[in-house]
Amino acid sequence: MHKMFFSVALLTLGTGAFAQTKKPVAAKKAVAPAPLLKNSTDSLSYAIGVNVGTYFKKQGVEHLNYAALDKALADCFGEKPLTLSDEQAVMTIQQKLQEFMTKKANAVKEEGLKFLAENKKRPGVVELPDGLQYEVIRKGTGPMPVDTSVVKVNYTGYLLSGKKFDASADHGGPATFPLNRVIKGWTEGVKLMPVGSSYKFYIPSELAYGDRGAGNDIPGGSTLIFEVELLDIVAPGATPAPAAGQ
């Protein structure tokens, strides 16, 4: 059945033999493969293969046993006894996809750790105990927010590759949000900024979106870079009460 997913061109090659006159024998023309999609059933079959194959390849699946895949499809459509029940099939897929996702996230995370280890050596870069790094681009003179403040900011976010994945300008202008409703790296970092400041943050995955990533643009395990300008504190929020004895 997997022949529906892959077509093989069969070429007829010339012998390459030479006549006694040493003039080359003309190469035979390649034989065109027979059309793969001859009817609507063929097209649907191939389309299903493209859809399923594309999805699972994006999830990290690199290899499949096509004979087993063909048998599963044939058994399902032929209403034959299944080697794995529906529940077992779902559990198998979930387990394997989790393994693939973890493997990919660990590789991305390792890249981030290497970057952060070198980045903290640069002049002007400060690393906090939990791994968050920042550098001051411009220091403002206004008040500083707390966890529960609502802030107004301009920002641009990048992957380590330099690819921009988000920016406030892409959404029509400055963004306003409660500081305790964003990723940990943002909450911790923006609290360091007086209004009027511009900082650059280097956020390890544990303080960002972790192994799960975010959408199609932020892979699991990603270290993120943000350029943030704190424009205003829209609502100051409640200042945490001091601990007993302070």
What is the SS3 assignment for 214?
strand
- H-helix or E-strand spanning residue 96: helix 86-119
76 lies in a domain?
Answer: yes
What is each CA distance from 90 to 84, 185, 193, 212, in whole angstroms? 9, 35, 47, 20
The pLDDT score that the predictor gives to residue 58 is: 81
Same domain, 53 and 141: no
The last residue of one of the domains, among 83, 108, 136, is 83
Residue 239 pLDDT: 56
In total, how many domains does the chain have? 2
Within a domain: residue 36? no
- Whether residue 16 lies inside any domain: the answer is no
Do residues 201 and 128 share a domain?
yes
Would you state the pLDDT for residue 7? 35
* Displacement of CA 216 from its chain's centroid (Å): 5
Q: Is residue 138 part of a domain?
A: yes
Q: Check whether residue 229 and residue 124 sit in a common domain.
A: yes
Q: How far is CA 123 from CA 134, 136, 191, in A?
A: 11, 11, 22
Q: Alpha-carbon distance 54 to 60, whole Å?
A: 10
Which pLDDT belongs to residue 24? 52
Same domain, 129 and 228: yes
Does 96 reside within a domain? no
Q: Which helix (H) or strand (E) holds 74?
A: helix 66-77
Alpha carbon distance 240, 246 (integer Å): 12
Q: Is residue 13 part of a domain?
A: no
The answer to whether residue 20 is domain-embedded is no
- Alpha-carbon distances, residue 50 vs 7, 41, 176 (angstroms): 13, 14, 41
Residues 125 and 204 occupy one common structural domain: yes
> Same domain, yes or no, for 196 and 150?
yes
Least confident of 3-17, 49-63, 188-202, 212-226: 3-17
Q: Is residue 122 domain-shared with residue 230, that is, in the same domain?
A: yes
Two tokens, residue 142: 């206004």
**Residue 86: what residue type?**
D
Instruction: Give yes or no: residues 161 and 214 share one domain.
Output: yes
161 vs 196: CA distance, rounded Å: 28
Q: Residues 139-163: pLDDT tens digits?
A: 999 999 999 999 999 999 999 999 9
pLDDT category at 29 given cuts 50, 70, 90 is low
pLDDT for position 3 = 40
- Indicate whether 52 and 154 sit together in one domain: no
- 57 falls in which pLDDT band (50, 70, 90)? confident
Q: Return the CATH number at 230.
A: 3.10.50.40
Query: Same structural domain for residues 224 and 125?
Result: yes
- Specify if 3 maps to a domain: no
Pair 128, 52 in one domain: no
Residues 52 and 146 in one domain: no
Structural domain including 52 reads: 42-83
What confidence score (pLDDT) does residue 14 get?
37
